[in-house]
Structure 1
């Protein structure tokens, strides 16, 4: 994976990569949409790992850029009831604007599992819960919110060990699955999803900046705890 398990990243004019790392961008995909293929592939793979299918109810823990793209990917996969949890109200609002009908949950004010159970058929919990934060509380909320024999997908990267309630995992007969990046052959499929309009990844973009202001208006802006930005694109032609 270029930029992950390979030394070259994307903040350069040129990069040398293997042939299998290159995928032709279709004519009906804009440059801006092409710039979103990589993070969108992470989201699509997470939904695949969860086995999301038509009519499912899904919780996404985390309303950051990956969380928002995963909401869009879950909707594209056929999920009809979507929940998103985040401590940041600004990001919850962005998620509601990008994915109409999503049910927002702020864990500071509400118990995630209780809200999910209250709004799922039979009050049993959601079919799939995907953790997109790398936070132990978010993962525990996913285990709590998912129904018996449901699936929890771990996408966020945890910086340390996480003491999970394994009795709940056993008692509820659930599956906990990891989701590491995506397979290299996912890009053509993801490009087609975006180009067709089935997965409108552009909704995750909250600002467009120039290369000379990338630090101040890009990296620093994303470090702002207010969290008013999600995905910031650099326009290299500007």
Structure 2
């Protein structure tokens, strides 16, 4: 009876969305909500910290929201290559850089600080970089989930009047938006899927995910 009374939580996939693309709708809905929380709009310059699946989906959602330039940072050249294939305007490997040095490198690439930052790692050093690399009066939206207690430069955020915002999953209509974005071709989630395994190799799929070499891993229940 509960599910009958809450059928609004079901979303029909159009015929032009494959099962694989459909499996990415849920995280894409999170990215859509993150962009709404970050108030990303036409003409904005956006920094995305993290080149994993969530980072790439946030990049796509930011571009679909009207952002003019989106820079994706990460520590893996291979994942940053995938980010460019997926549509990132610019990418930057910040491996080995301190938060302030990474922020300076980001501003060099963008020609200035970002209007808004989507932090998709949950790592304290990346959160610090996000705060330093965001413009005065901008915002850093926390998409990645890290430790509940962290040491970050809140004083710098206060002095720059940078808002720090959190998100928890998504709202109901974000699923509808995510489905529409994929169905219309405005967002192509296919480049995010980097590895595929048959059902009998699910353990190997999980191990590949844990290794960090993949962006998005799919387990296929049937070959067709």
Task: Give the TM-score, by structure 1 length.
Answer: 0.85
Change (3 A) 1:139 1:27: same
1:62 to 50, 55, 65: 50
Counterpart residue number, 2:65 = 77
1:142-165, Cα deviation, whole Å (9 max, x unpaired)? 000000001100011122301222
**Aligned mates of 1:21, 1:153 — CA distance in 2:** 26
| Contact kept in structure 2, 1:150 and 1:175, CA below 8 Å | yes
Change (3 A) 1:18 1:215: farther
| Cα drift, residue 171 of structure 1 | 0.9
Q: What is the total number of aligned residue pairs between the two structures?
A: 219
| Cα drift, residue 32 of structure 1 | 1.7
Task: Tell whether 2:21 aligns with 1:33.
Answer: yes
5+ residue gaps, structure 2: none
5+ residue gaps, structure 1: 1-14
1:75-114, Cα deviation, whole Å (9 max, x unpaired)? 1112122211212222222212222532223241572211
Task: Tell whether 2:146 aligns with 1:158.
Answer: yes
| Contact kept in structure 2, 1:49 and 1:153, CA below 8 Å | yes
Counterpart residue number, 1:134 = 122
- Measured on the aligned residues, the alpha-carbon RMSD in Å equals 2.0
Query: Residue 127 of structure 2: SS of its match in structure 1?
Result: helix
Task: Give the TM-score, by structure 2 length.
Answer: 0.90
- Superposition pairs for residues 215-234 of structure 1, below 5 Å? 215-216=203-204, 218-224=205-211, 227-234=212-219
**Aligned mates of 1:72, 1:105 — CA distance in 2:** 19
Counterpart residue number, 1:23 = 11
1:207 to 191, 195, 217: 195
